[in-house]
Amino acid sequence: MFNKSAELIEQKYLERARNLSVALLCDGVKKANIDLRNNGCMEAAIKPVAPGMTMVGTALTVQTGNGDNFPIHLATYSAPSEGYVMVIDGKGFESRAYCGDLIMGACQAIGFEGMVVDGYTRDREGNIKLGFPVYSKGFIPNSPIKKDEGNVNTEIFCGGVKVNPGDLVAGDSDGVCVIPREYIGQVLDLAEEKLAYEIDRSRTIEAYREAKRNGKELPQLAPQWVLDMIK
């Protein structure tokens, strides 16, 4: 099945998401009480090809298996793709790489924001040189097959999380999370609240560090909720 790509997520939401870590976005999903495995956070096995890679975009989904990358080629060249993150359900297939730096380079040239592979990739050095954000389960040099059409833009599972075309996908050095489209505004509000809490905590920790350095009386370092739980 080959479906049209979902409408791009509004820029104002994408910009807000870019100012938040993936950890904060997952905290937002948790606070919103959305029934999503691991708060939308993909399995730890899905890692950035290099630390420092970050991406935020609208999900374009691909479903394949058996190390077959024909569906990835279909999605790359046949769907309008600027602003999308290609999320590939490769069923964790371990014996072949789904893609390398040629497809990645093409995706980058077209304007994809990044790629997530529930499976393995190759051409790691070339991928790092491109600076194209890719998240995968690891690397294997063995080449993909090109055979079946698979599915493009259908509901998939990637890294244990349900992904629909049009969902928000974000990645950083910690990993990848997915926010279902209908919850984006609510999750961003809650993630920003958590960010405000974290900024406040960092200030307290810095004040403690400063007092200790200067031999001053030490301020309370433990958060109030910890003190309440100890009581």
Q: Residue numbers of the site for ligand OAA (CB under 6 A)?
A: 69, 99-103, 122-123, 143-144
The CB-of-47 to Mg ion minimum distance in angstroms stands at: 20
Query: Is residue 120 at the binding interface for Mg ion, with CB under 5 A as the rule?
Result: no
81 binds, among ligand OAA, Mg ion, none (CB under 5 to 8 A by kind): none
Return the number of the residue (62 or 178) whose C-beta is nearest ligand OAA. 62
Using the contact rule CB under 5 A, the part of the chain among 109-117, 121-129, 172-180, 212-220 near Mg ion is: 121-129
Fill in the per-residue mask, 57 to 96: x = in contact with Mg ion (CB under 5 A), - = not in contact: ----------------------------------------
The encoded tokens of residue 157 equal: 């599972």
- CA-based Rg of the chain, rounded to a whole angstrom? 20
The encoded tokens of residue 182 equal: 């209908």
CA angle 181, 156, 163 (to 5 degrees): 25
**216 Rama sector, left if φ>0, alpha if ψ -120 to 50, beta otherwise:** beta
Query: Is residue 123 at the binding interface for Mg ion, with CB under 5 A as the rule?
Result: yes
For the chain, what's the residue count? 231
C-beta separation of 135 from 44 below 8 A? no
CA distance 221 to 230: 14
143 binds, among ligand OAA, Mg ion, none (CB under 5 to 8 A by kind): ligand OAA
Return the number of the residue (2 or 139) whose C-beta is nearest Mg ion. 139
178 binds, among ligand OAA, Mg ion, none (CB under 5 to 8 A by kind): none
The CB-of-186 to Mg ion minimum distance in angstroms stands at: 41
Return the number of the residue (95 or 173) whose C-beta is nearest Mg ion. 95
- Whole-number Cα distances in Å, 21 to 5, 132, 223: 26, 18, 21
**Closest to 177 (Cα-Cα) out of 80, 65, 48:** 48
The encoded tokens of residue 192 equal: 């920003």
User: Which residues have a Cβ under 8 Å from the Cβ of 187 and sit 6 or more positions away?
Assistant: 25, 28, 29, 32, 34, 179
The CB-of-100 to ligand OAA minimum distance in angstroms stands at: 3
Return the number of the residue (45 or 102) whose C-beta is nearest Mg ion. 102
The CB-of-54 to ligand OAA minimum distance in angstroms stands at: 22
Return the number of the residue (122 or 137) whose C-beta is nearest Mg ion. 122
Give the interface with Mg ion as residue ranges (CB under 5 A). 100, 102, 123
